[in-house]
Structures are given as structure tokens and as C-alpha cells.
Amino acid sequence: MTTSMEHRASAPREDDPAGEGRAGEGRGREERAEEGRAGKAPGAPTRLGRAVRRTGSRAYWTTPRLVRGLTALSLAALLALGATATAVLGGARDGIDTIGHRAAPQATRAADLYFALSDMDAQAANLLLVGADPDYTALRRQTLDAYEQRRAQADDDLQQAAQAAADDPAGQRAVQLVLGRLGGYEALVAQARLLEEQAKAPAGQPSPAALDTYRQATDLLRQQLLPAADQVTAANEATVGQVYSGQRRALGGGWWWLLAVGLLALAALLGLQRALAVRYRRVLSPALAAVTVLTGVALVTALALAGRADDRLVTAKSNA
């Protein structure tokens, strides 16, 4: 009887408002708990932030994880050092080859073109002075050979200059201008020679018609042809300067990249050596120490080779 009375006393009556309130609060707590359990998972930024905090914590980096991480970093840094050294030294070699064997010789040929054209005109004047006198046949043949030699030299220089200016619009225009003016000059010289032979004038006394034609040829040479040759020379020298400046900038930047990547590789190797010494009580790992020494030697050698390549680049430019 006592139990039933207690049960009736503890059971809320249907007309008891306080009992209903307490039951409602219990049901609310249960519903909120269910909603929390069935709620949405944390978003991606939240998960990323937690992962970063967990990775950055000291407890995360156990000995195996630390050793694996430093080993991976060391290998990546060594591979990056090898790739950087290959790219820098290969680019330096290509730059020296471009300056010393292609760009500089083209500038030299452009300068030779000016000389060849000037000597052509001098030999044409000598032909006019020798005239058609049979006493000077040997001298005339020698002078004509010299003229043809300079003419062939000018043609060869123009062909080389045209090839070098394949990617340079200004150089192409200068070469085309020289080619056009050279054709007109050679035609006037040939006409002057023909008039001189027809007049059969004695040596030192050219015919007025031949002399007038030669004056037209030499005016064309000095007023149009030689200035156009100067433009070819300037275009080739500008190409050499651009290649030289670009290669020196690339080599200077590559030197600093070599230094940075090499120091990173050494730092990773030394960090791995320290981790092994602290975590595993090993004073020194012979294999790792050997790799560290070899990396240092390779870094110093690569930096020295890059500096030597820069000196060779300057020498190639000065000899251009």
C-alpha cells in the first residue's frame, strides 16, 4: 500500500501544471540531444583548420613521422638542387654558345660588309683609271679579281646577316635595303666598265661618260648603300647586346636559386641528422653525413661553375 501511495504521489496529476512543465523540459532536452547527434558535420574550412592545428602540434610529430617528413624533405631538396644546377649551367652554356659562336660572328660579318663595300668602290675606281690600255692588262686583271672577291664577300656577308635577322624585323629591313642598293651599284659599275672599254681610253684618262656613270655609282654607295650597311651592323650589335643582357640576368638569378635550394637541402639533411641523434641516441649517421658533405661540395662546385660561366660570357661579349 505504501508503494502504491508513493507512486500516486510521485506521478503528476493531469491537472498539475508544474508536472507538465518538468516533463516538457525533459522532452526538450532529449530533442536537442537528438538534433545535435543528427546535425550536420563540420564544414571543410573547419576540418582543414583542425587538421592544420593538429599537424602543427608537437604531439603530432612522433619520431617515425618526424624522420619520414625530414627524409622526404631532404630528397625533394636534393632533386630540386640537381634540377636547378642542370638548368642554370645548361642555360649558361647555351648563352656562351650564342654569344661566342652565333651572335658575335654575325656582328663581325656585318662590320666586314661595310669594309667589303668600301673596297669594292676602291677597286672600281682603279679599274676606271687603268682603262683599256693593253700595257696594263695584268694590272687590270688583278684589279678585277680583287673587285670580284670583295663582291663575293659582300654577298656572303649579306646572306649570313639575312639568316641572323630571321627573327628581327629591323634587321630584315636593313638587309633588304642593302640588297636592293647593291644591285643598283653593281649595275652602274658594270656600265662604267663597258663605256670605258668601248672608248678605249688610255690609262689615267677615263672617258667622260664612264666617269659620269662611276660618279653615280659611288654616290649611290656613299649616300645609300653604306648607311644601309651601318643599319645592318647596328641591328646585329643590338641582337648581341640583347642576348648578352638576357643571359647575364638569367645567370645571376640562377646563381641565387642555386644558393637557396642548396642551403635548403643542407638544412634538411642537418635537421634529419639531429632528429636521428636526439630521438634514437645516435651521435652520427655515417651515410647521412656522407650525403651532407657531398651535397655541400656539389653546391660549392655548382656556384663556382656558374661564376666562371658569367666570366666567360663577359669575355665572349668583349671579343664580339
Taking residues 252-270, report their average pLDDT: 91
Of 319 and 14, more confident: 319
As a whole number of angstroms, the distance between CA 3 and CA 186 comes to 137
What integer pLDDT is reported at residue 215 of this predicted model? 92
Taking residues 187-205, report their average pLDDT: 84
If we measure between CA atoms, which residue out of 236, 235, 240, 239 comes closest to residue 316?
A: 240
User: With contact defined as beta carbons under 8 Å apart, do 85 and 295 qualify?
Assistant: no
What integer pLDDT is reported at residue 203 of this predicted model? 75
Q: Tens digits of per-residue pLDDT, 77-88?
A: 899 999 998 988
What integer pLDDT is reported at residue 100 of this predicted model? 66
As a whole number of angstroms, the distance between CA 169 and CA 162 comes to 11
Of 226 and 57, more confident: 226
Of 30 and 284, more confident: 284
User: With contact defined as beta carbons under 8 Å apart, do 158 and 94 qualify?
Assistant: no
Check pLDDT > 70 for residue 303: yes
In the DSSP assignment, the letter for residue 285 is -
Q: What are the start-end ranges of the E strands in 201-282?
A: none
Encoded amino acid at 77, one letter: A
As a whole number of angstroms, the distance between CA 19 and CA 70 comes to 65
Q: How far is CA 69 from CA 73, 110, 159, 218, 265, in A?
A: 6, 59, 60, 78, 13
User: With contact defined as beta carbons under 8 Å apart, do 106 and 242 qualify?
Assistant: no
Q: How far is CA 162 from CA 105, 120, 168, 185, 209, in A?
A: 13, 21, 10, 19, 36
Instruction: Return mean pLDDT, the chain.
Output: 76
As a whole number of angstroms, the distance between CA 317 and CA 320 comes to 5
Check pLDDT > 50 for residue 61: yes
In the DSSP assignment, the letter for residue 40 is P
User: With contact defined as beta carbons under 8 Å apart, do 111 and 247 qualify?
Assistant: no
As a whole number of angstroms, the distance between CA 119 and CA 126 comes to 10
Residue 281: which region, alpha, beta or left (left: phi > 0; alpha: psi -120 to 50)? left
